A and B are shown apart, each in its own frame.
Chain A
Amino acid sequence: MLDMIIGTYKRKRKELKNATPLTYILGRVIRGLFTILVSHFMYENVFNQTVSDSFIENSGSLDYMTFVVIGSAVHVLGVSTMMSVGRGLISELRMGTLEPLLLSPKNKIAYFLGLMVEQVQRSTVEFIIVLLFGVLFGAKLSFLLSIKSILALSLIIISFFSMSVLVAAMMIYTRDTYVTQNTLFIFMYFICGISFPISYLPLSLQAISSVFPMTHSINLVRYLASGTLLYSNWVTSISFIVILSTLYFMLGYGWYRRYEKKILENNLS
């Protein structure tokens, strides 16, 4: 299993470095940076740094820029992982390399893990760049330099990995990335509280947001930032992350395994 993880990691890394070295680095960072910029201009130029009381109440007393930067950075981390790992199989199908992968006796979890390891390497750089940019615009992020935060981020990455296995199964089943990317990721961007507290949403949408690990991941990091470590909130967030990750992983991998034989049939016929 380890050799497949390492093999997949090396192959993906070389592929991206050779084929698209600039997009490899700059791609998602630009998106994260401009999300912060838009929020900054709204905060500074439109509203002269005035926020509502409801925001102060629902943000755990975090200042606006810290609130938004945390959301953007975790969002960049999440979408990067889900896009990279989630698109793995469909990309192999399009390149014509899915057959050898399916025909190999190795456990496909190792393949997904290999993609994840490669992506984490990139996501860490993207995450740090977005955070540094956020600091330039006044976000207070020194709390991230702690063991607690590193552990929390590690848990968050695992949760994104679990969801990406489900996304991968979805994409290979539908043989399409368009609907998943455009609808699911944009929906998550709206509903996971990236640039505003979830409490602003109608109750039904708040309930839906709780099924996404990203919501709880962002909550967890914001709780770490605000210093108001309400025991129930912290434990709730971690519990949700662990349960949802397990559920999504089992669902995704189970769906993939059931469909794997059909992919082989379709490909070899």
Chain B
Amino acid sequence: MKFLVVMYNEAKKQHKNNYISYEQYFSLLIWPFILLCNSYYSYRPFITEGFMSYFTTRELIFFLVTGHVCYICFWSMVETAWDLEYERYSGTLEVLFLSSANKLAVIYGRALSAVIQICWLYMVICIGYFLLIGEVNFSIILQSLLVFLVLCVSSVIWGGLLNTIFLFSRDATFLVNILDEPMVLFSGVRVPIEIMPIWVKLISSIYPLTHVLSFVRTLFNSQSNSLDIRQLAILSILLIMTVIATAKLVGLAERKNRLSGEFNFY
């Protein structure tokens, strides 16, 4: 219970402190849309007379929309991680570690604050989707809610890992770049993983987003439209492993900072 209370309060504080203007909320819709358009147009050099070797145009749009919506949810976690740098030099990171609060709860609370962005974006996408297909039934709503739950849990756990990396050092941005930038490629956001070389597939399997995307695409695919339990199980195992790794890393990061006294070095 205490864990959840700390998590909730951290999310509340993060949200109040960081999301201060309507322009920010507006930009949360704009830039994912722009990224999506960019990805679509990146395929245009290969489109010949409406035919492509791998996708039809409709399949491509479905592929890219699902890829980008899920990617944006994971990407929004990066912002919360970057914010730790600011907390370090403003001295509030030190105060946090002064307290007896569960640090893992704080980390996940920070990631949870970005979920509000996700809610907003997801809601708009869903409304757009319902308007596009022209029908809303219980099954579609249930599917949408399930996907939202899977997205939130996965991205919060991923966000926890990114936040933990920033606990180690103020010079952690490059580590986040190493983890985050390749995610676009290795998770199948823009290019299908199925036709990639084996080494790419191996790397892609460690990203939770890969499995989230696979699950979401199978569920919403008009041809399959099925619940991929196997993918969900793999994702669950991966997320549990990520949580365990994050818990260990939080302890290590705290130990490292206590030895060096670098909670507030800037």
Contacts and interface: CB of A to CB of B under 8 A. Distances in A.
Contacts of B192: 46
B52 A19 contact: no
Interface in B109-125: none
A188 to B, nearest CB: 10
A143 interface: no
Contacts of B266: 19
B45 A51 contact: yes
B38 interface: yes
Contacts of A217: none
B54 A47 contact: yes
Contacts, number: 124
A196 interface: yes
Given A52-B47, A183-B30, A46 B184 contact: no
B146 interface: no
A94 to B, nearest CB: 7
Interface string A13-33: 000000111110111001100
Interface residues of B, number: 43
A137 interface: no
B17 to A, nearest CB: 12
Given A46-B54, A55-B45, A196-B45, A41 B191 contact: yes
B128 interface: no
Contact of A179 (B23, B43, B48): B23
Interface in B25-40: 27, 30-31, 34-35, 37-38
B117 to A, nearest CB: 11
A48 interface: yes
A249 interface: no
A178 B82 CA distance: 12
B86 interface: yes
A179 B181 CA distance: 20
Contacts of B174: 22-23, 25-27, 30
Given A19-B170, A94-B86, A42 B43 contact: yes
B195 A46 contact: yes
A48 B86 CA distance: 46
Interface string A54-91: 11000100001000000000000000000000000000
B35 A186 contact: yes
A20 B38 CA distance: 31
A38 B184 contact: yes
A51 B34 CA distance: 24
Contacts of B89: 95
Contact of A41 (B27, B31, B86, B200): B200
Contacts of B170: 19-20
Nearest to B85: A20
A52 B257 CA distance: 55
Given A179-B24, A186-B34, A45 B46 contact: no
A200 interface: yes
Interface of A: 19-23, 25-27, 30-31, 34, 37-39, 41-43, 45-48, 50-55, 59, 64, 94-95, 174, 176, 178-179, 182-183, 186-187, 189-190, 195-197, 200-201
Given A25-B174, A26-B177, 17 more contacts: A20-B170, A34-B182, A37-B185, A38-B185, A42-B191, A46-B46, A46-B53, A46-B191, A51-B46, A52-B47, A53-B48, A176-B21, A176-B23, A179-B21, A183-B27, A189-B38, A190-B35
22 contacts: A22-B171, A23-B171, A23-B177, A27-B174, A37-B185, A50-B46, A50-B48, A52-B47, A54-B45, A55-B44, A94-B86, A95-B89, A176-B21, A178-B27, A179-B21, A183-B30, A186-B34, A186-B38, A187-B31, A190-B35, A190-B41, A196-B45
